[in-house]
Amino acid sequence: MPTAVEVRDLKAWFGKTEALHGINMSVEAKHATAVIGPSGCGKSTFIRCLNRMHETNPEAKAEGSVQVGGTDIYQMPAVDVRRRIGMVFQKPNPFPTMSIYDNVAAGLKLNGMHNRKTLDQVVEHSLQQAALWDEVKDVLKKKSGASLSGGQQQRLCIARALAVSPEVLLMDEPASALDPISTAKIEDLIFELKEKFTIVIVTHNMQQASRVAEFTGFFLMGNLIEFERTEKIFTNPSDKRTEDYITGRFG
């Protein structure tokens, strides 16, 4: 199975505080990889380094290499990086005043695409991929993104990320603000999306990691303690620290 993202000796800082201490990880293409760990372990910092969101904080810096398709993202323009590596956040953040259609088309328009027919096709395809099309197809331009429910807003954000055809989709606790039904829809969606995209998901919910991801990495205090197939992590982890965390004996 080819590697989609190759992370080597990745370190990250906030000011003088080192938040990641040299992470190595090979993320397999067209699979879901979950990142778990206690609060403050560096898991969100880690995925924010995978599309250079980390450096949007003026205090922050990162070192090491993150290769996507053989190219180091730290040698590419940040705009290109974020087109190739999309991100969905914990709290749905649609553009509140834009219509549903414009929310999905925004990324493409920013990249200079203004062909009406192409935009229509991409918007429909992206909303279908995000399993939202049937619920919004009649109100695409009438309703704003903010008028949708929380779960729908999150799927809208996923559609927006998919519209620019990324290779990798990063998800930072994408269902933690959602009710169980909306969470189940997002998890079903992840299952479908990983046939076409590589997904890296940060989650506090270990059952969610075990349900959606083939691979799981356990972070602790800025280190990647264990990175293995998910079933191994949750049935028979190699490291005592992983076991203590997932069985609730931690701390």
Partner 1 sequence: MTRIRFHQELDELKHRILAMAGMAEQAIDLAVQAYTQRDAALCQRVIANESAINRAEREVDEFAIDLLAMQQPMAIDLRFILAVLKINADLERVGDQAVNIVQRVMSMIELPSSELPVDIPAMATRVRAMVRDALRSFIEGDVDLAKHVLEADDEVDRMNREAFKALSESMRTNPEAAVQALDALSVARNLERVADHATNIAEDVIFWIRGADVRHGAGQQMAGS
Q: Which two tokens stand for residue 172?
A: 């930072």
From 7-15, 135-143, 146-154, 230-238, span contacting partner 1 (CB under 8 A): 230-238
Closest CA to 201 of 86, 107, 64: 86
Count residues binding partner 1 (CB under 8 A).
Answer: 14
Q: How far is the CB of 248 from partner 1 (least distance, A)?
A: 3
Q: How far is the CB of 139 from partner 1 (least distance, A)?
A: 38
Cα separation values, 179 from 149, 152, 182, Å: 11, 11, 5
Q: Among residues 36 and 108, whose Cβ is nearest to partner 1?
A: 36
From 56-64, 74-82, 150-158, 231-239, span contacting partner 1 (CB under 8 A): 231-239
Are residues 167 and 197 in contact, defined by beta-carbon separation less than 8 angstroms? yes
The residue written with tokens 């996507």 in the block is: 68
Q: Among residues 92 and 237, whose Cβ is nearest to partner 1?
A: 237
From 49-57, 112-120, 154-162, 241-249, span contacting partner 1 (CB under 8 A): 241-249
Q: Among residues 123 and 206, whose Cβ is nearest to partner 1?
A: 206
Q: Which parts of 116-149 fold into alpha helices (H)?
A: 116-129, 133-136
Are residues 30 and 194 in contact, defined by beta-carbon separation less than 8 angstroms? yes
Strands, DSSP E only, in 98-221? 168-172, 198-202, 215-220
From 91-99, 122-130, 163-171, 236-244, span contacting partner 1 (CB under 8 A): 236-244
Q: Among residues 157 and 206, whose Cβ is nearest to partner 1?
A: 206
Neighbouring C-beta atoms of residue 100, cutoff 10 Å: 28
Rounded to whole angstroms, the Cα distance separating 234 from 228 reads: 10
Closest CA to 217 of 206, 225, 227, 231: 227
User: Does the footprint of partner 1 cover residue 180 (CB under 8 A)?
Assistant: no
Q: Among residues 145 and 217, whose Cβ is nearest to partner 1?
A: 217
Closest CA to 46 of 12, 91, 84, 8: 12
User: Does the footprint of partner 1 cover residue 231 (CB under 8 A)?
Assistant: no
Q: How far is the CB of 251 from partner 1 (least distance, A)?
A: 7
The interface mask with partner 1, positions 182-221, x = CB under 8 A, is: ------------------------xx--------------
User: Does the footprint of partner 1 cover residue 115 (CB under 8 A)?
Assistant: no
Residues that bind partner 1 (CB under 8 A): 206-207, 234-237, 242-243, 246-251
